């Protein structure tokens, strides 16, 4: 799954512009969060695309800062302490977590997106959760 963070001046219609641009490129949004910090909007997207670089360029042409990153999708049992197990494995092996959020909960499983500083290492460490 590809992750794209867009940083742009906050204004009315920004979410419309971003989602409309993605729709026109036939890019499906798997997860989105938007937060306003001061006068800036930070939009974090999990998207399904084969052309993340092209999508990034669309937003850069609009004058937005766009940062792509690899995101790991992990499947956890939907019960207390499961995310802690993953965090422990990463911490004990020197992998820093940069972002984590729950994408979906269905029955006994929770799907989490985790962005880390060492994605290849984390993928090997967390293979049982993927």
Non-local (6+) Cβ contacts of 112 within 8 A are: 73, 74, 75, 76, 83, 86, 100, 101, 102, 103
Query: What pLDDT sits at residue 70?
Result: 79
Segment-wise mean pLDDT, segments of 10 residues, the chain, 130 residues:
90 97 93 92 89 93 91 92 97 96 87 92 95
Please state the φ and ψ torsions of residue 119, each to the nearest 5 degrees. Answer: -60, -40
Q: How many whole angstroms separate alpha carbon 69 and alpha carbon 58?
A: 16
Structure pTM? 0.72
């Amino acid at each position: 799954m590809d992750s794209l963070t867009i940083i742009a001046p906050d204004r009315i219609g920004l979410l419309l512009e971003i989602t409309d641009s993605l729709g026109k490129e036939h890019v499906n949004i798997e997860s989105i969060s938007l937060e306003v910090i001061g006068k800036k909007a930070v939009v974090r997207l999990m998207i399904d695309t084969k052309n993340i670089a092209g999508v990034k360029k669309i937003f850069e042409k609009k004058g937005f800062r766009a940062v792509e990153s690899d995101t790991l999708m992990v499947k956890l049992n939907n019960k207390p302490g499961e995310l802690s197990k993953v965090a422990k494995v990463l911490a004990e092996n020197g992998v820093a977590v940069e972002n984590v959020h729950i994408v979906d909960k269905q029955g006994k499983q929770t799907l989490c997106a985790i962005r880390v500083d060492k994605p290849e290492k984390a993928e090997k460490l967390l293979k049982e959760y993927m």
